[in-house]
Chains A and B, each alone.
Chain A
Amino acid sequence: MNFQNLILKLSEFWASKGCLIEQPYDIEVGAGTMHPATFLRVLGPEPWRCGYVQPSRRPADGRYGENPFRLVKHYQFQLVIKPSPIDIQDLYIESLMALGIEPADHDLRFEEDNWESPTLGAWGVGWQVLLDGMEITQFTYFQQAGGIDLAPITAEITYGLERLTMFLTKKKSVYDIEWAPGIPYGAVRKQEEYEISKYGFEVADTGFYQDQFERSEAEARRALSAGLVLAAFDQTLKCSHTFNILDARGAVSATDRVGVIRRVRDLAVACAGAYVESRKALGFPLMPPPEPPAEPQMPEEILS
């Protein structure tokens, strides 16, 4: 099992379960949750089944490509299903079997692990899934997003792709896993890890990012007042990522930190509210068509 096989198998498996396969979002995000296919789609009554890979950036986790486990940018396979089906755990275990994991050979456990994102005004309840003691998946029932209590509830499953590949192939360094036959992950990504770490910690111009934060925030507000929620959300994501860069750099003072997080959350909350309204205005296009009326019964006399 190599890295790309894992992605292909997971995509194939969830597609076979009726999930739409999306693609990574084209703005830097800290986690697959921030992709509009999760953060916005969990809102409102429309059903949604979707999976995608999302490269996720966490500037503070940068280790210059030297740490065998930590990456600035790692890849997640994210799956969301709304409403959460009652057999979601069984489906998840089936997806592991699709990866060649025979559950009866392992210790598979769901240990409580709840999730909260102050910048998104979101939280959920769930587990980390442990396979032989290794956390391979984060499993969350979304309860709130953008400050809105959710109903129906979305089940979110996030596979950490590098860890999972490392574990399945028992490699001691992420750079040693195989991406494609004959091509190790390190050959593809090690230099990038070095560069983004070095850039983030030493080179990035904090003034530039502080400026960008202010401008993206203003732009998000402008887009919102023009009724363009998706554009506003893009700028919100930029704010969030810019904040992460500044934070990793130690350029956000303690007193500012709380305030900045609140500013991002305010945008996320505004986007969430506006998104629900815009879907409503469109008549919730993804709602299933109403059940067709029962076939009218032919009066008996006509039949005879």
Chain B
Amino acid sequence: MSEFLLEILAEEIPAGVIGTARKDLLQGVAKGLAAERINGTFFTYSTSRRLVLVAKDLPEMQDDAVLDVVGPPLSAALDKEGNWTKAAEGFARSQGVDLGTLTVTTTPKGKYVVARKTIEGRPTTDILADILPPVIEKMTFPRMMRWGDGRYNWVRPVHSIVALFDGLVVPLTVFGVESSRTTMGHRTLSKARLIITGVEDYFAKLRLHHVEPDFIERRRVLQEKAESLAGEAGGVPAHAGGLVETWADLVEIPGLVCGSFDPAFLALPEEVLVTSMREHQKVLPVRSAEGTMAPFFLAVSDHTTDPKGLIVQGNEWVLEARFADAKFFFEEDLRKPLEDRLEFLSHLQFQEKLGDYRAKTERLENLSDILASQLGKEDQAVWALRAARLLKTDLVTSMVREFTDLQGVMGGIYARYQGETDEVWQAIYDQYLPASAEDGLPRGDVGAITALADRIDTLTGLFGLGLVPTGSKDPYALRRAGLGVVRILLEKGWRLDLRRACEAAFALHGSLPREAEEALSELYDFLIERLRFLLDKRGFKYDEIQAVLTTDCGDVTDALDRVTAVAAIRSQEDFVPLSLAFKRIQNILVQAGGEIPEEPVPGLMSEDAERQLASDFFQAKFMLDMLNEKRKYQEALRIMASLGPSLDRFFKEVMVMVDDEAVRNNRLSLLRAMRDNFSRVARFNEIQA
């Protein structure tokens, strides 16, 4: 079997896209070859400047292909004597086969003549030369660029292409660059031009010239070095959260240095130190065994060693400069209380048509107060008001202008320094939680109330403007805001009528272009979709969720209780008849249409089964109303299920759609009463048997 090597040497590719590019390249080549009946085993590698593909177990030649070409109908191909006609001769000639090799095929349209042709397989190397240029040139990246004369468009300029099939150059041209067997070693550690003879030789030569082409190996080495270097400094690497992967993409050779900084900087808030290190310098903090910050850090380096100590020295210098900058901001910010920053919020636009952050703050104060009372948390209102007032003031601090990732967190820290209560500073600190699925909630009730207010204000405002997310476009991150609202309510177990809360928030915006009713009904559906997503993530089945979400779910916590009850009870034996019966009720009511009286009258009941069902149901109804009120939905469902036998009997013995209108309507109204009552929990007709 044969092997193939492809290396694309380019200028530094953004770290975040290399993994996807490897995958795209592999899929593009494997698919392109498969379409040519060529299979192999594929591997990809990469560095900050290289995308590499290795294919093994390739055939030297493409298999021959057998192709049947359908020609004229048999009736036209043979004359009366059974000899080939001119038409048949012409067909055979045009297909390049002997007349004698023609065969016959039977199709639904009749019999036709067939020429069987053998298409000789081409050398795999020719096919590679055909398919590679378009696969590479058509790769897409989140941000593309042009270079030189501006003719080509890729992620970065391409410098060279190595394409070797069993050690022989596959001649092809990509972006005007002709393939060869020549590549370069490490940019600064090797000046050599490398002549490559095959796959094994490629890896050996690259490694000799300070390039480790395997991402996984670089990641492994970096991880190992992080642990050993931190250990030598008497600590452990802090949580890396993807940083080691980023490091591995940023280099060609996995180098790591451990530097130190002036322990005096440890007096800065830890959040500031960590953000400076991780986000700005992409270095990893080192923690002591007890978990506190140690005055050390780990920095990636595209170098095997640090020959003159300059790399450590440089990184230390930069980090201390960053810290000194942060210290300057911190001290400057502390001089001005958050309260005094409110006026500057009027210079900061929240959204073009929704005003500035001063206006938003006023709305947040009002809304936090309203939500506290709607949630029955009046005792927290005073703290919620205070937190809402200061919530956005950190947006006009120097620190947040410089370290935008620290918004919220920084406000919380400043609030703590200026002596706000725990409720208040924590609410400010936690305001953006949960930002992702991994995040927890704001730690206190006040934080949850202001976090709800912030998101509900944003959602109602933007829905009021008609700026609703569509497809992949969600520039205001409204899906995240919606998820936040639902998650906070669900996980806090708080009962809030979302419709009422949103109405109040909508009114606080003053005039908005859309009608409240239209905007809020769309917002309700939007929030229900977020609820559906979260219920699905909790492992509920589609139909269980659907049965509840087709009822009113303005109170999402209540909806969760009901889905939980349905899921718990659905496997029980008597639940299936109940769900079937509910479906029958629903069908009959839909077919009947028209006005159905609300209350059935006992005097119009003539059949035993009818009377029994009515009596069973009305006895149960008393209990059901009470249980629903107490949200004991499992017990309620059990009681509903116990009505199964009498419902069954009713459907067996009683004809609903009788001619007598009074009797018919009375029966319908009994069914309607049951449906309406059961639907308080779920619409069981959605449940699949």
A170-B347 in contact (CB<8A) = no
Whole-angstrom CA separation of A85 from B187 in the bound complex: 17
Chain A nearest CB from B243 CB (Å) reads 14
B20 CB, min distance to chain A CBs, angstroms: 14
**Which stretch (A49-57, A103-111, A200-208, A220-228) binds chain B?**
A103-111
Q: Is the interface of B mostly helix, strand, loop or mixed?
A: mixed
By beta carbon, the residue of chain B nearest A60 is B401
Kindly report which residue of chain B lies nearest to residue A108, judged by CB atoms: B188
Please tell me if the beta carbons of A132 and B159 are within 8 angstroms of each other in the complex.
no
State whether the Cβ of A143 lies closer than 8 Å to any Cβ in chain B: yes
Q: Are A112 and B14 in contact (CB under 8 A)?
A: yes
Q: Mark A233-260, 1 if CB is under 8 A from B, else 0.
A: 0000000000000000010111101100
Given A86-B157, A255-B349: A127 and B12 interface contact (C-beta under 8 Å):
yes
Residues of A within 8 A of B348 (CB): 254
Instruction: Kindly state the separation between the CA atoms of A109 and B301 in the bound complex, as whole angstroms.
Output: 8
Q: Is A133 a contact partner of B150 (Cβ separation < 8 A)?
A: no
> Which residues from chain B contact A153 at a C-beta distance below 8 Å?
145-150
Q: How far is the CA of A125 from the CA of B320 in the complex (A)?
A: 29
Residue among A68, A112, A167 making CB contact with B12, cutoff 8 Å: A112
Q: CA separation between A112 and B282, bound complex, in Å?
A: 13
Q: Which residue of A lies closest to B299 (CB)?
A: A133
Q: Mark B280-320, 1 if CB is under 8 A from A, else 0.
A: 01010000000000000001011100011011011101111
Judging by beta carbons under 8 Å apart, are B151 and A151 in contact? yes
- Range of interface residues on chain A? 35 or more
Min CB–CB distance A157 → chain B (angstroms) = 13
Cβ contacts under 8 Å, A152 to chain B: 148-150
Partner of B349, one of A124, A131, A254: A254
14 residue pairs from A and B, CB less than 8 Å apart: A69-B324, A83-B149, A84-B147, A84-B157, A86-B147, A103-B187, A104-B189, A110-B12, A133-B318, A134-B315, A141-B145, A141-B157, A254-B347, A258-B352
B494 at the interface (CB under 8 A from A): no
Q: Which residues of A contact B145 (CB under 8 A)?
A: 124-125, 141, 143, 153
Contact with A along B340-352 (1 / 0, CB 8 A): 0000101111101
**A141 interface neighbour in B14, B15, B146, B159, Cβ under 8 Å:** B146
Q: Which 3 A-B pairs have the closest CB atoms?
A: A132-B314, A151-B150, A254-B349
A-B contact count (CB 8 A): 137
Judged by a CB distance under 8 angstroms, whether A17 is at the interface is no
Task: Flag if A134 contacts B311 (CB, 8 Å).
Answer: no
Is the Cβ of B11 less than 8 Å from the Cβ of A110?
yes
- Beyond A83-B149, A114-B143, A141-B145, whether A106 also contacts B318 by CB under 8 A is no
Return A125 CB to nearest CB of chain B, in Å.
4
Q: Which of B147, B148, B149, B324 contacts A68 (CB 8 A)?
A: B324
B contact set with A: CB distance below 8 Å: 11-12, 14-16, 48, 143-151, 157, 159, 187-189, 250-251, 255, 281, 283, 299, 301-303, 307-308, 310-311, 313-315, 317-321, 324-325, 328, 344, 346-350, 352, 355-356
- Asked if residues A111 and B157 are in contact (CB atoms below 8 Å), the reply is no
From B189, B318, B324, B355, contact of A134 by CB (8 A): B318
Of the candidates B15, B147, B315, B346, which one forms a contact with A132 in the assembled complex, judged by CB atoms under 8 Å apart?
Answer: B315
Q: Report yes or no: A250 in contact with B148, Cβ–Cβ below 8 A.
A: no
Please, which residues of chain B bring their CB within 8 A of the CB of A155?
Answer: 147
Q: Tell yes or no: A280 within 8 A of B by CB.
A: no
Whether A84 touches B314, Cβ cut-off 8 Å, given contacts A68-B324, A108-B188, is no
A172 partner, pick from B283, B307, B321, beta carbons under 8 A:
B321
A170 touching B149, Cβ below 8 Å: no
Q: Does residue A278 face the partner (Cβ distance < 8 Å to B)?
A: no
CA distance A72 to B159 in the complex (A): 40
Most central of B14, B147, B187, B281 by chain A CB within 10 Å: B147
Cβ–Cβ contact A106 & B346, under 8 A = no
Q: Which residues of B contact A127 (CB under 8 A)?
A: 12
Q: Is the CB of A131 within 8 A of B356?
A: no
